[in-house]
C-alpha cells in the first residue's frame, strides 16, 4: 500500500467555490497531515467519477473523499467493490489496497476531519507540536524566503501561513521528538529573518499583545482617529481588561474637530492639509497635552474610493505614535479597496504602538 495521501473533492462544476474544501485542507495541515495530491471532480459526470476514483485507489494509500450526502451510497458501493473491504459505522474503510475516509460536505456526516487526523497520526505514530510567529508588515516574498531558509535547516518542519491586511500568522508544525538543537536553529532562523516585523511568538492577537505590554510597562494609551473611524479603538476595547490601560479614543473626522479637540493649528491644516505628516503629529501631540495618557496614536489618510479635494492619492496614510519624549510619524501609500486600506492602517498603527513601548 502506498504511503501517499490524496484528497478527492466532489463539487458542482457550475459553482466555482472551493471555500469548504480549502477549510478542510487547512485543518488537515494544522494537524500535521499533508496531501501529495488534491483532486476536484464534478459529481454529475459518471465517467469522470469512475476514472478519478480508480486513479486515487491505485496510487494512494490514504484517500480522503469529500462529497455531498447524495453521493454517499454510490461511493460506498464503488469503494467497497474496488478495495474488497467494508466501511465501518464511521465511514472508514481499511483494506490492503487503500484506506478510504468518507467526509460528508453538506449536513452532518459520521466522520469529521479531526477523526481522520487522529486515525492517520496514530497509525503512523505521528505526534506533532506547534509553534507560532505573528508578524505585521512583512511581505509575502520576505516570509517565503525566511520559511525556505528555515526549511533547509529543519526539513521535518512544516509551515502554514495565514493572515490579511499585512498581519500574518506562521504556524510551525514539527515532530515532538525533534532534536532541540535542530528546533532552536530553525526558530533562530525564523526570528532573525523576520525580527523587525514580529510582535508575538505565540498565537495571540495584536490587540492582546499590545495590552500585555502596556500593562507590563504601566503605560496608558489614547487614540485620535480620522479615516480609520474608531477602528483602532474597537480593536483595543475588544480585549478584556483594557480599561486598565486605555484612557480615551477620539474620532476626530472633521477639521474643526481636530482643531477644537486636539489643538491642531488651523494654519497647518490650510498649508499641509488634513492628510499630512504635520497634522498626524499635532493630533498625537494634542492627546499627550490634554489627556492623562503616556502613549498617543493618531491616524489620518484617504481610504477611498475617491480622493479628497487636495488630489492626494487614495491609500495615502499617516500614522502618528508618540510619548511625551518623542513623536514619530509614519507614511504609507497603501493599495486596495476602502476596507483593505483601513484595516491595514489599523494593524500598522497598533504595531507601531507596540514597537514604541517595547
Which CATH number fits the domain that encloses residue 88? 3.40.50
Q: What does the longest C-alpha to C-alpha distance in the chain come to?
A: 84
**Sequence-ordered strand ranges (E) for 2-122:** 5-11, 37-42, 62-67, 92-94, 99-104
What is the domain extent for residue 42? 5-123
Compute how many other C-beta atoms are within 10 angstroms of the C-beta atom of residue 45: 12
CA distance 192 to 308: 41
Final residue before a domain boundary, out of 181, 200, 219: 200
At 15, the pLDDT band (50, 70, 90 cuts) reads: low
320 with 252, same domain?
yes
213 with 189, same domain?
no
Note the pLDDT of residue 2: 55
Q: Does the predicted TM-score (pTM) go above 0.85?
A: no
Place of cell 467555490: 17
136 with 59, same domain?
no
196 with 81, same domain?
no
Cα atoms found within 13 Å of the Cα of residue 141, Cβ hemisphere only: 0
213 with 351, same domain?
yes
Could you tell me if 154 and 186 are in contact, meaning their C-beta atoms sit under 8 angstroms apart?
A: yes
User: Which strands form 5-11's sheet, in the order they lie side by side?
Assistant: 37-42, 5-11, 62-67, 99-104, 92-94
338 with 215, same domain?
yes
The CATH number that applies at residue 165 is 3.30.70.600
The CATH number that applies at residue 269 is 3.90.950.20
pLDDT at 164 over 70: yes
Beta strand pairing status for 327-333 and 316-322?
A: antiparallel
At 249, the pLDDT band (50, 70, 90 cuts) reads: very high
- 3-state secondary structure (DSSP) of residue 160: strand
Could you tell me if 310 and 301 are in contact, meaning their C-beta atoms sit under 8 angstroms apart?
A: no
Average pLDDT, integer, range 221-236: 97
User: Which strands form 167-175's sheet, in the order they lie side by side?
Assistant: 158-164, 167-175, 128-136, 198-200
150 with 66, same domain?
no
Instruction: Give the number of domains in the chain.
Output: 3
260 with 347, same domain?
yes
Note the pLDDT of residue 94: 93
- 3-state secondary structure (DSSP) of residue 136: strand
178 with 316, same domain?
no
Could you tell me if 351 and 199 are in contact, meaning their C-beta atoms sit under 8 angstroms apart?
A: yes
Note the pLDDT of residue 276: 97
Contacts of 76 (CB under 8 A, 6+ apart): 87, 91, 102
117 with 169, same domain?
no
CA distance 42 to 10: 6
Note the pLDDT of residue 22: 74
C-alpha dihedral sign at 336, 339, 345, 351 = negative
- Across the chain, mean pLDDT equals 91
Final residue before a domain boundary, out of 152, 176, 200: 200
Average pLDDT, integer, range 346-352: 98
Amino acid at each position: 500500500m502506498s504511503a501517499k495521501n490524496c484528497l478527492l473533492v466532489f463539487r458542482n462544476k457550475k459553482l466555482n467555490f472551493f471555500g469548504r474544501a480549502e477549510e478542510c485542507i487547512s485543518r488537515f495541515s494544522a494537524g500535521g497531515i499533508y496531501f501529495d495530491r488534491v483532486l476536484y471532480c464534478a459529481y454529475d459526470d459518471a465517467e469522470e467519477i469512475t476514472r478519478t476514483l480508480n486513479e486515487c485507489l491505485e496510487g494512494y494509500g490514504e484517500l480522503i473523499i469529500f462529497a455531498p450526502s447524495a453521493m454517499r451510497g454510490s461511493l460506498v458501493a464503488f469503494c467497497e467493490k474496488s478495495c474488497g473491504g467494508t466501511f465501518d459505522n464511521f465511514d472508514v474503510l481499511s483494506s490492503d489496497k487503500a484506506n478510504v475516509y468518507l467526509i460528508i460536505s453538506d449536513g452532518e456526516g459520521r466522520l469529521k476531519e479531526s477523526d481522520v487526523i487522529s486515525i492517520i497520526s496514530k497509525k503512523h505514530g505521528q505526534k506533532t507540536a506547534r509553534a507560532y510567529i505573528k508578524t505585521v508588515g512583512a511581505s509575502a516574498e520576505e516570509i517565503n524566503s525566511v520559511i525556505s531558509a528555515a526549511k533547509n535547516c529543519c526539513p521535518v518542519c512544516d509551515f502554514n501561513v495565514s493572515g490579511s491586511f499585512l498581519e500574518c500568522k506562521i504556524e510551525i508544525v514539527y515532530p515532538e521528538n525533534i532534536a532541540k538543537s535542530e528546533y532552536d536553529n530553525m526558530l533562530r532562523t525564523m526570528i532573525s529573518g523576520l525580527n523587525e516585523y514580529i510582535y508575538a511568538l505565540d498565537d495571540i492577537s495584536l490587540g492582546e499583545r499590545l495590552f500585555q505590554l502596556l500593562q507590563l510597562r504601566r503605560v496608558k494609551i489614547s487614540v485620535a482617529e480620522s479615516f480609520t473611524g474608531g477602528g483602532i479603538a474597537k480593536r483595543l476595547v475588544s480585549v478584556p481588561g483594557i480599561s486598565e490601560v486605555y484612557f480615551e479614543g477620539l474620532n476626530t473626522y472633521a477639521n474643526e474637530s481636530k482643531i477644537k479637540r486636539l489643538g491642531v493649528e488651523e494654519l497647518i491644516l490650510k498649508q499641509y492639509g488634513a492628510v499630512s505628516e504635520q497634522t498626524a503629529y499635532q493630533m498625537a501631540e494634542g492627546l499627550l497635552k490634554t489627556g492623562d495618557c503616556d502613549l498617543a496614536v493618531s491616524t489620518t489618510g484617504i481610504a477611498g474610493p475617491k480622493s479628497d479635494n487636495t488630489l492626494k492619492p487614495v491609500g495615502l496614510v499617516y500614522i502618528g505614535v508618540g510619548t511625551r519624549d518623542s513623536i514619530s510619524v509614519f507614511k504609507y501609500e497603501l493599495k486596495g479597496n476602502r476596507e483593505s486600506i483601513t484595516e491595514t492602517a489599523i494593524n500598522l498603527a497598533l504595531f507601531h504602538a507596540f514597537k514604541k513601548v517595547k
